[in-house]
Structure 1
Amino acid sequence: MEVRIGIRNVAREVAFESAHTPEQVRGVVSDALSSGQQLIELEDDKGGTVLVPTDALAYVEIGAQDKGRVGFGR
């Protein structure tokens, strides 16, 4: 599933693939914002970590789970 994060005053967004479900990503972001944490910590599908300061967060776009692809793109 693709996650895209917008950062204030930065022209490019942070985009990565995550193995987590949309509900898990939404939960991590919501918990970080509601508890006043300074960083949102998410993991990409390759085991890397993405850290985003909560005070610089503009938006989080959570894509749908990948479904089976059809065609030559496998």
Structure 2
Amino acid sequence: MDIRIGIINAPREISFETNETAAQVEETITTALSAGSALLRLIDSKGKVFLIPTATIAYVELGSDTSRRVGFVG
């Protein structure tokens, strides 16, 4: 699933893929924001950890859970 996170006063967004479902990612983000956590911790599909200050999050865009098809359809 693709995740894009916009950061306040930053010209670029954070974009990566994760193996978690949209519901799991949404729950992680909602919990961090509602609990007043200083950081949001997410892990991408390659094991890289992203620590994002919750005060600087402008938006979060969650992609679809379906994987992309590669190749030709015959």
TM-score normalised by L of structure 2: 0.91
- How far apart, CA to CA, are the structure 2 residues paired with 1:70 and 1:52? 32
Aligned runs of 1:1-74 on 2, under 5 Å? 1-67=1-67, 69-72=69-72
Aligned counterparts of 1:50 and 1:70: Cα–Cα separation in 2: 27
Percent identity over the alignment is 47
Cα shift at 1:67: 3.0
CA RMSD of aligned residues (A): 1.2
For structure 2, list consecutive stretches of 5 or more residues without a partner in the other structure. Answer: none
Using the alignment, how far apart are the partners of 1:26 and 1:4 within structure 2? 12
Unaligned runs of 5+ in 1: none
- How far off its partner does 1:70 sit? 4.5
> After TM superposition, what 4+ stretches of structure 1 lie above 2 angstroms from structure 2?
none
- Residue 39 of structure 1 deviates from its aligned partner by 0.3
- Aligned pair count reads 72
- What is the TM-score normalised by the length of structure 1? 0.91
Q: Deviations over 1:14-40 (max 9, x none)?
A: 000000000000000000000000000
